[in-house]
Amino acid sequence: MAEGSTLTASPPVAVIMGSQSDWATMRHAAETLDALAIPYDARIVSAHRTPDRLFAFAKGAREAGFRVVIAGAGGAAHLPGMVAALTPLPVFGVPVESKALSGQDSLLSIVQMPAGIPVGTLAIGRAGAVNAALLAAAVLALHDPGLAGRLDAWRTRQTEAVADQPERTA
Ligand code: RP5
């Protein structure tokens, strides 16, 4: 449990991904949660290769104490949408950059949900993974003043790290 958190005893965020190969992208979500001292569980849950695991995870996610699910997948990326169909928790989808179609397939698979079952879809790759974590933080911060302060500080540091002028590199 992160210091200053007033949410739950269990990790509030689940970071799930369709394959070990997605970790190279999803680690950026994990590292962003680490930077904000937000506890999370990271798990491999494949919509296609481990469908029973997907059902068990998604059906039990709220009772397990999770508040937000971040789901990354590539290619025929059905994981975020299927999880959203099985849990009322907010689900943020991260399209992983695929080899064949550079993540366009992942993006369209995740973003084109039918009305009634939302997935908050982020950008392809690292930017999406980082922003999924920041969105999860913003949701949790609504009821967690300690986290709200850490998120404000994170954004301030980011602003202060931007130089006024570019370095004149070759
Ligand atoms: C999807 O298939 C995963 O999310 C991954 O992005 C993609 C490829 O998986 P691997 O063949 O690398 O395990 O289910």
Report the CATH number at residue 143: 3.40.50.1970
Q: What is the pLDDT of residue 10?
A: 82
In a domain, 89, yes or no: yes
Ramachandran area for residue 117 (φ above 0: left; ψ -120 to 50: alpha; else beta): beta
Interatomic CA distance for residues 129 and 23, integer angstroms: 10
In a domain, 20, yes or no: yes
Q: Residues 9-31: pLDDT tens digits? A: 689 999 999 999 999 999 999 99
In a domain, 34, yes or no: yes
Q: What is the pLDDT of residue 5?
A: 41
Instruction: Compute the distance from residue 47 Cα to the ligand 1 centre, in Å.
Output: 10
Was 144 annotated as part of a binding site?
A: no
Neighbours of 168 (CB within 10 A): 5
Instruction: Compute the distance from residue 23 Cα to the ligand 1 centre, in Å.
Output: 10
Q: Does 85 score more than 80 pLDDT?
A: yes
Q: What is the pLDDT of residue 170?
A: 81
Q: Residues 113-140: pLDDT tens digits? A: 999 999 999 999 999 999 999 999 999 9
In a domain, 7, yes or no: no
Determine the average pLDDT of the residues in 39-47: 98
Q: Residue 17 CA: which ligand 1 atom is closest?
A: 4
Which residues in 9-110 belong to E strands, given as ranges? 13-17, 40-44, 68-74, 91-96
How many domains, the chain? 1
In a domain, 59, yes or no: yes
Q: Residue 20 CA: which ligand 1 atom is closest?
A: 13
In a domain, 4, yes or no: no
Whether the Cβ atoms of residue 97 and residue 22 lie closer than 8 Å to each other: no
Which stretches within the chain are classed as H helix? 23-35, 51-60, 79-86, 104-111, 126-141, 145-160
Q: Does 2 score more than 50 pLDDT?
A: no
In a domain, 165, yes or no: no
Domain of 27 in residue numbering reads as 13-160
Was 22 annotated as part of a binding site?
A: yes
In a domain, 170, yes or no: no
